[in-house]
Structure 1
Amino acid sequence: MKKLSAVLLSSALLLGACGSNDDHKDNKDSSKDSDVKSELKQATKDYKSYTSKELDKFLKGTEDFVKAVKAEDMDKAKELYPKVRMYYERSEPVAEAFGDLDPKIDARLADMEEEKKADEWTGYHKVERDLYERKAITDTTKKDADQLLKDAKELHAKADTLDITPKLMLQGSVDLLNEVSTSKVSGEEEIYSHTDLYDFKANIEGAQKIYELFKPALEKKDKKLSDKLEKKFAKVNGLLDKFKTDDGYKSYEEVSKAQRKEFADAVNELGEPLSQMAKVNQ
């Protein structure tokens, strides 16, 4: 076997020395592909670290939120509600990988009614209704808050077991934008609190983080696409910045129909090239 290996190695060296320009190009392409694979591996590692930190903050924020609810501190609970949810929305591609937990934490009543499971409704939006529409913290609210914290802890524990892949990240970035452009831009997500702009910003940040992690590899594959994505993200973020306040974002009720359409159009314009980012994994 050693002898055969030596012959093969010699032949390879000879062919390499006498190769054509095409051989040289193939070697360059092979090296480029190797670099891309290495960058994809690093991107998945960095994304796991990013989402892990976001879910750490989500759990801690949920603990504080539940503490405020159980103390019947309405003002504190309302202050925390949209800000804590941003950690969840940024890392939703990971949360959604656990199909049973995501709806328990994040389902809307309309979703549950559509599935004829309204009596099983739990999570942030159920507590949101009591805080913003019913304007009352009851014993039931406190029980719902306890269940929310239990589910947040389970998600936090399970997230460490998830195998992060480029496919999960790529699909996740598109799903984050789809959520904004379909259900969220209409105001359906935060129907009681009207804190939709916090969700929008977090979803955009989550998608942009995935783009930024893939950017070194994408620029090797398609520099023009990368540049286009950067401009489209800047446009969407610029529109969101118009509604910033000193400590967050304005109520979605203050956003006109024309402004909502402008934002939806910008998100859709971003979604098309974002879906093309899949070429980085091909």
Structure 2
Amino acid sequence: MNRTASRWAIPLVVTGALALSGCVENNSADATAIPVTSTADDCQVETATATSGPVRFEVENTGDDVTEFYVLADDGLRIIGEVENIAAGSSRNLTVQMQPGDYFTVCKPGMVGEGVGQADFNVTGDAVTASESDQAAIDDAVASYTAYTKTQVAELVTGTKAFTDAYRAGNDDEARRLFPLARINYERVEPTASNFGDLDPKIDYRKPGAEAEGLEFTGFHRIEMDLWIDEARVNYPGEDIQPLDPAGRAAVADQLDADISSLYDQVHADDFELTIDDITNGAIGLLDEVAAPDGKLPGEENEFAHTDLYDFLANVEGAEVAYETVRDIAAGKGTDGEDLVAELDEQFAAMKDLLATYGSYDAGFVSYDTVDQAARNALGAQLNALSEPLSQLTFTVLGVDQGE
């Protein structure tokens, strides 16, 4: 997790009037477009009302730092939609299928702290429903992706345990080998996993993020720092970084296992639910994790081990699974949907082909600190080529036929 900010403590369950109904009829008007300006200290939403259906928030960042924009439920806790990593001077869109009700909007400059400019947002009109055929496709997609998420977290439990066992035993070479492999399942479903309150900070916060939030530094990256302690001392020359003794190793390993087990319990709980826009927005959220200023592309995610390419590929794979889950729905939305699917098929293939030039899970990837800036720029260009059409997926899947 590259985030240096805490999330609101929320369940991932969206029920009742807030639940996404799915696709709207193809003769619906285009999504309501609402400009949003995120400044250094405010979040200016042009209008505080909208009619139910697809709403597109067009967020422009006029501040000096990266920002993010959220739509919250009426309790101010549950996240209805979010768009992250909006660089200074740039714009991003967030499309949300909105049911009648009361919401809040808020921006978070720097992606740290409470957020600024939280304001009421009201949606009027009728509840949005899906046609019977669309609803069946939506239900199938949600069931498929929910099962995928549960499977990934189940595999995360065993993969993490193999890693922590090697670390506890002092088998550092094996622990270093397993570190990037243990993280693959987490990185594939990271936007889902990161919605479980304080589990994501415990499992995957980096050292600067934990310290900025006043949290204990635990999880994958705490063990990473201990396994690559010479690199840690180079990165933090003003600190007296000492290796953990066996008791210290056992404590951080036990904590990581316990937190992963808690994540498993929550994902496998009877009331665990996902919605169609959890899938579509989660797909772009995974690519946001790659491109973030302290993420995989800049080489900041695994700052000691330099195993960022493993995480990079896992995020892309997770995004592709989310996309493939709703691909047929998108393709059925007229000419624009067909064109979008063709573009995404091409760009996902190109992204994976480029990453394959650096290695694989089985053979291993090159250390990311050996990838020069020109090569990183090429990875970034391909990531942008994939992210741009993927950002249109939610809008398309929600059922608006933009071609007619």
1:82/1:195 contact within 8 Å kept: yes
Aligned length: 251
Correspondence 1:49 to 2:49: no
SS in 1 for 2:183: helix
From 201, 205, 212, the counterpart of 1:107: 205
Q: In the alignment, which residue of structure 2 is the partner of 1:17?
A: none
1:48 positional shift: 1.0
Structure 2: distance between partners of 1:65 and 1:98: 23
SS in 1 for 2:365: coil
Quote the sequence identity (%): 36
What code does the residue aligned with 2:261 have? K
1:34 positional shift: 3.4
From 156, 160, 172, the counterpart of 1:74: 172
Greater strand share, structure number = 2
SS in 2 for 1:42: helix
What code does the residue aligned with 1:226 have? V
Q: In the alignment, which residue of structure 2 is the partner of 1:5?
A: none
1:70 positional shift: 1.2
Q: In the alignment, which residue of structure 1 is the partner of 2:330?
A: 218
Q: TM-score, normalised by structure 2?
A: 0.60
SS in 1 for 2:364: coil
2:297/2:376 contact within 8 Å kept: yes
SS in 2 for 1:192: coil
Alpha-carbon deviations, 1:153-212, whole Å to 9, x = none?
000100123211111111211111011012221111000000000000000000000111
Correspondence 1:248 to 2:364: yes
Structure 1: distance between partners of 2:211 and 2:381: 29
1:35 positional shift: 2.8
Q: In the alignment, which residue of structure 2 is the partner of 1:174?
A: 284
1:131/1:137 contact within 8 Å kept: no
Structure 1: distance between partners of 2:133 and 2:382: 33
Larger-Rg structure: 1
Structure 1: distance between partners of 2:220 and 2:339: 40
Correspondence 1:280 to 2:376: no
Using the TM superposition, name which of 241-250 and 185-194 deviates more.
241-250
The residue correspondences of 1:163-242 to structure 2 (distance < 5 A) are: 163-182=273-292, 183-221=295-333, 222-242=337-357
What code does the residue aligned with 1:230 have? D
Moved over 4 A (4+): 134-137
What code does the residue aligned with 1:280 have? V
Q: In the alignment, which residue of structure 2 is the partner of 1:133?
A: 229
Q: TM-score, normalised by structure 1?
A: 0.85
Structure 2: distance between partners of 1:73 and 1:202: 25
1:69/1:137 contact within 8 Å kept: no
SS in 2 for 1:190: coil
Structure 2: distance between partners of 1:36 and 1:198: 36
Structure 2: distance between partners of 1:248 and 1:33: 47
1:65 positional shift: 1.2
What code does the residue aligned with 2:175 have? A
Alpha-carbon deviations, 1:222-248, whole Å to 9, x = none?
110010011111111111010015522
SS in 2 for 1:253: helix
Q: In the alignment, which residue of structure 1 is the partner of 2:265?
A: 157
1:137 positional shift: 5.3
Greater helix share, structure number = 1
What code does the residue aligned with 1:46 have? S
1:33 positional shift: 4.5
1:114 positional shift: 2.4
What code does the residue aligned with 2:378 have? E
Structure 2: distance between partners of 1:262 and 1:35: 42
Q: In the alignment, which residue of structure 1 is the partner of 2:93?
A: none
Pairwise CA RMSD: 1.8
